[in-house]
């Protein structure tokens, strides 16, 4: 563990993250109230994920907006490492990306890094990560992206397109840069060492500036991309970062797709969701009913409350009354969990139906090599 008591890298997140410290450490900018106002003005909407600081940090968002206001469009890019089924936490940047796509009417690329997860997970075969890439693609499509403006890149399938761009990038990043950024050692496989150049490639797939909504753990890759962009005559990617979504079992870690119990998958049946939340969701409540009524619970560390805040309850008034009731002891942990279970299952019922339909739409979304 670092001196700061938390670690955030693309392959390892640990500890209780202090986001202000992380901003300093990574050298990003906090999303100011002015920036939020600006986005609100341009889009005509006050998105709850911005209002609540779920998206909390950025790099050069103002440049993207300056250009946009001059009539120069950007494009969106985000992605997912297909190490398992999609979990609820992954949907945060995707849902936000969809909102940005609608508001700015821009193209979006979604990268599925089946190679990356093969390199980084000792127990996964390339066939497995490829299979999960298709499974994860269904979740993206289910969110309602437009097929004419949204293309899904699967690394092993689209390598022909990615490789010439990745080669430009790879030539400008040296081993000591990646080593310092990711903590690689002599035992790290060389796929991992090259990998940043593949995650960088979609940044330069169109001749326009790119905006990337992403979990803050992915920032280190794009720090390298931003450093080398001018060296290959390209604009630096702009970024907008969301906080890490806590695992069910507690704050201080991200939801990991490989931890069955700590994760609600988009494919989970209602009774499974109910069981997982009731059994595993970390509670900010008191050990017994009497104490809870007397002392109240702590919503700030309660994972069920956090999921409502981050994703499932966009209505501020409703969220506030849940917060107040839980804090005062009026609302019990079991009751709070029941609220979340209902919201999640409502969402998943619709999502799973759309996910089925997505199986017929997937061809339209897959990026075709030229």
Half-sphere exposure of 13 (CA within 13 A, CB side): 23
Smallest distance, ligand TRP to C-beta of residue 77, A: 6
> By C-beta, is 119 or 326 nearer to ligand TRP?
119
Rounded alpha-carbon distances, angstroms, from residue 329 to 121, 257, 282, 321, 355 = 43, 33, 17, 12, 39
Q: By CB under 6 A, is residue 78 in contact with ligand TRP?
A: yes
Task: Provide the strand spans (E) within 255-309.
Answer: none
Q: Which listed residue (58, 65, 79, 365) binds ligand TRP by CB under 6 A?
A: 79
For 133, left (φ over 0), alpha (ψ -120 to 50), or beta? alpha
Q: Find the radius of gyration of the CA atoms of the chain.
A: 21
Q: How far is the CB of 55 from ligand TRP (least distance, A)?
A: 13
Task: Pick the binder of ligand TRP from 81, 220, 284, 296 (CB under 6 A).
Answer: 81
329 binds ligand TRP per the rule CB under 6 A: no
Number of C-beta neighbours around residue 345 at 10 A? 17
Minimal distance, residue 79 CB to ligand TRP, in Å:
3
Nearer to ligand TRP, 89 or 299 (CB): 89
The sign of the dihedral angle between the CA atoms of 277, 283, 287, 293 is negative
- Which listed range, 109-117, 128-136, 248-256, 307-315, lies at the site for ligand TRP (CB under 6 A)? 109-117
By C-beta, is 79 or 246 nearer to ligand TRP?
79
Q: What is the DSSP string of 164-219?
A: HHHHHHHHH--HHHHHHHH---TTS-HHHHHHHHHHHGGGGSSSS-EEEEEEGGGH
CB under 6 A: which stretch of 75-83, 166-174, 300-308, 335-343 binds ligand TRP? 75-83
Between the alpha carbon of residue 268 and those of residues 142, 253, 334, 341, the distances in Å are 15, 21, 20, 12
100 versus 340: smaller Cβ distance to ligand TRP = 100
Which stretch, 71-79, 258-266, 276-284, 288-296, contacts ligand TRP (CB under 6 A)? Answer: 71-79
CB of 197 or CB of 218, closer to ligand TRP: 218
Q: Which is nearer to ligand TRP, 116 or 139 (CB)?
A: 116
Q: Which is nearer to ligand TRP, 86 or 304 (CB)?
A: 86
Nearest approach in angstroms of CB 300 to ligand TRP is 27
Task: Find out whether 241 and 215 touch, Cβ atoms under 8 Å.
Answer: yes
Q: Which 8-state DSSP code applies to residue 314?
A: -
Would you list the DSSP string of 52-77?
TTSEEEEESHHHHHHHHHTT---EEE
Rule CB under 6 A: say whether 111 interacts with ligand TRP.
yes
Return the residues of window 192-231 that contact ligand TRP according to CB under 6 A.
199, 212, 214, 218
Size of the site for ligand TRP (CB under 6 A): 13
Q: What is the DSSP letter of 370?
A: -
Residues in 114-153 at the binding interface with ligand TRP, rule: CB under 6 A: 116
Can you say whether residue 44 is alpha, beta or left, with left for phi > 0 and alpha for psi between -120 and 50 degrees? left
**Residue numbers of the site for ligand TRP (CB under 6 A)?**
10, 77-81, 111, 113, 116, 199, 212, 214, 218
């Amino acid at each position: 563990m670092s001196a700061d008591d938390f670690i955030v890298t693309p392959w390892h997140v640990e500890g209780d993250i202090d986001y202000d410290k992380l901003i300093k450490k990574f050298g990003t900018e906090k999303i100011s109230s002015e920036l939020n106002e600006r986005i609100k003005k341009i889009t005509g909407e006050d998105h709850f994920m911005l209002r609540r600081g779920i998206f909390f940090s950025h790099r050069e968002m103002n440049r993207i907006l300056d250009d946009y206001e001059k009539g120069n469009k950007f494009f969106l890019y985000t992605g997912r490492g297909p190490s398992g089924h999609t979990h609820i936490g992954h949907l945060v940047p995707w849902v936000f990306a969809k909102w940005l796509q609608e508001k700015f009417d821009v193209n979006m690329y979604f990268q599925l890094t089946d190679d990356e997860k093969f390199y980084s997970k000792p127990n996964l075969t390339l066939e497995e990560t490829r299979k999960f890439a298709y499974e994860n693609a269904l979740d993206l499509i289910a969110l309602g992206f437009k097929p004419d403006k949204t293309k899904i890149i699967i690394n092993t399938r689209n390598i022909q397109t990615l490789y010439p761009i990745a080669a430009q990038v790879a030539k400008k990043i040296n081993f000591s840069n990646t080593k310092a950024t990711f903590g690689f050692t002599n035992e790290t496989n060389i796929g991992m060492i090259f990998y940043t150049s593949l995650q960088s490639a979609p940044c330069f797939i169109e001749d326009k500036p790119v905006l990337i909504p992403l979990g803050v753990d992915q920032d280190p890759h794009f720090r390298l991309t931003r450093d080398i962009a001018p060296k290959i005559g390209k604009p630096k990617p702009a970024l907008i970062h969301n906080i890490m979504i806590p695992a069910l079992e507690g704050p201080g870690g991200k939801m990991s797709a490989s931890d069955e119990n700590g994760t609600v998958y988009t494919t989970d049946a209602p009774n499974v969701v109910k069981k997982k939340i009731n059994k595993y969701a970390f509670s900010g409540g008191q050990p017994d009913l009497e104490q809870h009524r007397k002392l109240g619970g702590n919503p700030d560390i309660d994972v069920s409350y956090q999921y409502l805040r981050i994703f499932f309850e966009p209505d501020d008034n409703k969220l506030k009354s849940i917060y107040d009731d839980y804090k005062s002891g009026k609302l019990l942990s079991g009751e709070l969990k029941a609220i979340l279970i209902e919201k999640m299952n409502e969402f998943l019922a619709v999502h799973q139906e759309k996910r089925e339909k997505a199986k017929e739409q997937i061809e339209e979304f897959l990026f075709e090599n030229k």
